Homo-oligomer: A and B are copies of this chain.
Amino acid sequence: MAASSLDVVGIGNAIVDVIAQADDAFLARQGLVKGSMQLIDAARAEALYAEMGAALEMSGGSAGNTLAGVASLGGAGAYIGKVREDELGHVFAHDMRAVGVRFDTPPLASGPPTARSLILVTPDAQRTMNTFLGACVELGPEDIAPALIASAQVTYLEGYLFDPPRAKEAFRKAAELAHAASRKVSLTLSDAFCVERYRAEFLALIEGHVDILFANEAEITALYRTASFDAALAAVRGHCEVAALTRSAKGSVLVSRGATESVPPVRVDRVVDTTGAGDLYASGVLYGLTHGFDLAAAGRLGSLAAAEVIGHYGARPETSLKALAQKAGLL
């Protein structure tokens, strides 16, 4: 195994978030399930956008957010995802590179536009996501550069990648390349509905192919079809090296074969928008695990990063996580 030049390479749906405030009545009128991610087509995206309030646009995408967080903590990262050569694709690539994340995936010259997620944030700070995958449907195994995967300590994959048709192949290729280079593979389950869509495949992947698993309470209980978080926790133990399970305001639990660490959340004065909370938690944990931190310390970095991002609109840090972590004595 050669020395790794990168901490984490993330593979995901490259998405620009379009974030607007909405009330519960709006979600009800539009038939939206609060807190979930649903896929929409171009026509529905157009129609929903027309009904939405004034928005702000920010680069997003689950793994993209996680890599931005890794970079903000001072880690070395790369990202693989598909945009088109259009204004939003330009924005996505700029924002990735501007935070120091390597991003070389060739953009589509034609075809569907860069993906966008219409995100409605309700007064309770919950986010409801409506994603038009656009150019993401063209991500395929040809976009997985073997040398890049081999150069990273961890290859991080988002469960959402099972939605576009060819990304699944890219996903499997990346996991195989990572293990062939004696690297770790990490997966986030992404969303409870996503787990329902791909439950059998996710279970098979976790068995033997995933070293570091991320899930929130809804996702892990959906995966194991358990009635309680504790039962799900017992079910996952031993099926991967580390499972990092988040529980919103209850903090998180990190589980390895022999250890269980409960990590409290970092308190936030005012929770504005929970978009990206899970993604940034993963940033902290991945940074920690790739820098020799123990489970509890990695979890605390995760809590810190998640706390930063829920204090403002948008799913990427507004301030240096490294400076925040140093101030908190975590780095």
Residues of A within 8 A of B (CB): 20-21, 49-50, 52-59, 68, 86-88, 91, 94-95, 98-99, 113, 312-314, 316, 318
Residues of B with C-beta under 8 A to A55: 91, 94-95, 98
Q: Is the CB of B56 within 8 A of A99?
A: no
Contact of A54 among B56, B59, B86 (CB under 8 A): B59
Quote the shortest CB–CB distance from A25 to chain B (angstroms): 15
What's the Cα separation between A312 and B316 when bound, in Å?
Answer: 15
Q: Is the CB of B58 within 8 A of A57?
A: yes
Quote the shortest CB–CB distance from A108 to chain B (angstroms): 15
Given contacts A87-B86, A88-B87, contact A68 B95 (CB under 8 A): no
Given contacts A87-B87, A87-B88, contact A56 B56 (CB under 8 A): yes
Given contacts A86-B87, A87-B87, A87-B88, contact A56 B58 (CB under 8 A): yes
Give the one of A49, A87, A316 with max B CB within 10 A: A87
Q: Is the CB of A99 within 8 A of B59?
A: no
Q: Is the CB of A54 within 8 A of B88?
A: no
What's the Cα separation between A53 and B94 when bound, in Å?
Answer: 8
Q: Which residue of B lies closest to A18 (CB)?
A: B91
Q: Is the CB of B58 within 8 A of A98?
A: no
What's the Cα separation between A21 and B52 when bound, in Å?
Answer: 27
Q: Is the CB of B54 within 8 A of A57?
A: no
| Copies of this chain held together in the complex | 2
Residues of B with C-beta under 8 A to A54: 59, 68, 94-95, 98-99, 316
Q: Which residue of B lies closest to A87 (CB)?
A: B87
Quote the shortest CB–CB distance from A274 to chain B (angstroms): 16
Residues of B with C-beta under 8 A to A59: 54
Q: Is the CB of A91 within 8 A of B57?
A: yes
Residues of B with C-beta under 8 A to A316: 54
Q: Is the CB of A94 within 8 A of B58?
A: no
Q: Which residue of B lies closest to A58 (CB)?
A: B56
Q: Which residue of B lies closest to A68 (CB)?
A: B54
Residues of B with C-beta under 8 A to A312: 312
Q: Is the CB of A56 within 8 A of B57?
A: yes
Residues of B with C-beta under 8 A to A87: 86-88, 113
Quote the shortest CB–CB distance from A113 to chain B (angstroms): 8
Residues of B with C-beta under 8 A to A314: 56
Residues of B with C-beta under 8 A to A58: 56-57
Q: Is the CB of B53 within 8 A of A98?
A: yes
Residues of B with C-beta under 8 A to A318: 21, 313
Q: Is the CB of B56 within 8 A of A98?
A: no
What's the Cα separation between A302 and B55 when bound, in Å?
Answer: 23
Quote the shortest CB–CB distance from A233 to chain B (angstroms): 35
Q: Is the CB of A53 within 8 A of B88?
A: no
Residues of B with C-beta under 8 A to A52: 94, 98
Quote the shortest CB–CB distance from A110 to chain B (angstroms): 15
